[in-house]
Amino acid sequence: MRYFLILMLGFTMSAFPQNVTDEVGALKAALALEKPDAINQALIRLQGAINQYEFVDRSPWNNPSPEKQRRRVEIRSALQPIVPDLSRLVTAENPTLAANSAVILGFSGGDSAVYKSLKQSLQESPYSSVVSSSAYSMFQLGLADVPVRTAITERLQQYQSESKRDVAFGLLNLASAWPIPEALPVITEILNSNEQIGAKMVAINALIRLGPQAKEALPEIERILQELERQGGDFRDINTAKRAIMLVSGRGETPQPATSVATPVQSTPIPPSATLMQQPKSSPPDTPSPSVGETKSSPWLWIIGSILLLAVMGGILLKLRRK
């Protein structure tokens, strides 16, 4: 009986990598049809399969456990046949397909073609979702070199332009997840601007990510804290400002890059403004990103279902033995 249970559990768990391979095949078939809706749904299903298999423990993206490292190697191998297709979609005119492809490329091997396509969309796309997804995946792959961070800073500096502020503030959110030292001057400028307090708090979170590298911005953070306390501001903003002062002044450990919002235990980083989206009817460059439609499946459902299945089958076998 024990060996039977072990065999069944092993069979169930082995289904996870096969799902990624199957969804890669489904995406290839959708690409052959050249129908955007079919391609987008295939991208969403593939991301769900990747999330399910990559999920294994609470280890963060930049310090994964040996098992998580092994699974990421398998995911990269499974994605290899479609990397050229994903790289092409990233620079396509359809913003939903471009953003979703950029997210999945964050799990690829990150070769020179991937670098080129992600950097191009980062520099040229008028859509916040595409720019943020591309930038985030470059950080995730370790491709965010000086030219990439400089390109991010240049687009951040356009935050005062009505047609470009959506992209700029999407990248400001990115800076609160991954450190971008080159952006320190513009982040500090935002603290001194007439932007709403919400935008300034995002800027402060970006300074938290920089830690002591942002020491020159301490006076601005302290000034905002004083204003919040004097005006009876939200206690969460007050606590964030206090935490920023502590970390930027070097009195605490700078937090590691943020982990995912795509799994229950937050193990796989997905940019907040770049989660997989449903196909929009239209999305002009100066409008907010399309509505988000995250996949709802969870690896826990698989595990719980497997346990229930094993329990039922075990009960049946026990009754048969008693007879």
pLDDT greater at residue 176 or residue 322: 176
Angle of helix 95-105 relative to helix 128-140, nearest 10 degrees, comes to 10
The phi-psi region of residue 266 (left if phi > 0; otherwise alpha if psi is between -120 and 50; otherwise beta) is left
Residues 239-264 have a mean pLDDT of 70
Higher pLDDT, 255 or 104: 104
Give the pLDDT mean for 90-108: 95
Q: What share of the chain is helix, strand, coil (3-state, %, to 5)?
A: 65, 0, 30
Tokens representing 269? 């980083």
pLDDT digits (tens, 9 = 90+) for 281-308: 333 333 233 333 333 334 444 444 444 4
pLDDT at 12: 39
The residue ranking higher by pLDDT, 102 or 233, is 102
Nearest to 174 by CA among 213, 235, 133: 133
List b or e across 258-267, with b for residues whose CB sees 16 or more CB atoms inside 10 angstroms: bbbebbeebb
Dmax over Cα atoms in the chain, in whole Å?
80
Long-range contacts of 308-316 (CB under 8 A, 24+ apart): 309/8, 309/12, 310/5, 310/8, 310/9, 313/4, 313/8, 314/1, 314/4, 314/5
3-state secondary structure of 277: strand
- For 241-251, write each residue's pLDDT tens digit: 999 999 999 88
d(CA 214, CA 249): 8
Q: What is the pLDDT of residues 138-184, one digit of tens each?
A: 999 999 999 999 999 999 999 999 999 999 999 999 999 999 999 99
Quick one: average pLDDT of 107-119? 95
pLDDT for position 259: 42
| Arithmetic mean of pLDDT, 125-134 | 96
Domain boundaries, the chain: 12-144+266-297
pLDDT of the residue at 266:
26
CA distances from 26 to 17, 45, 140 (A): 14, 9, 25
Residue 61 pLDDT: 84
Given this model, what pLDDT does residue 104 score?
97
Q: Alpha helix locations (H) across 14-111? A: 15-33, 36-54, 66-79, 83-90, 95-105
> How many angstroms separate the CA atoms of 313 and 318, rounded?
9
Mean pLDDT for 93-97 is 94
**pLDDT tens by residue, 41-77:** 999 999 999 989 998 888 888 899 999 999 999 999 9
CA distances from 72 to 52, 85, 221, 276 (A): 12, 20, 39, 19
pLDDT for 318 equals: 42
Q: Residue 83 to residues 45, 77, 100, 105: CA-CA distances in angstroms?
A: 16, 10, 13, 7
Closest CA to 135 of 100, 106, 92: 106
CB neighbour burial string for 115-134, b if at least 16 within 10 angstroms, e if fewer:
bebbbebbeebebbbbbbbb
* 81: DSSP letter: G
Task: Report the alpha-carbon distance of residue 9 to residue 314 in Å, rounded.
Answer: 12
Q: What is the mean pLDDT of the chain?
A: 80
Residue 108 burial (10 A CB sphere; 0-12, 13-18, 19+):
buried
Which value, in Å, is the radius of gyration of the alpha carbons in the chain?
A: 22
Give me the count of residues in the chain.
323
- Which tens digits make up the pLDDT trace of 213-224? 999 999 999 999
pLDDT at 237 > cutoff 50: yes
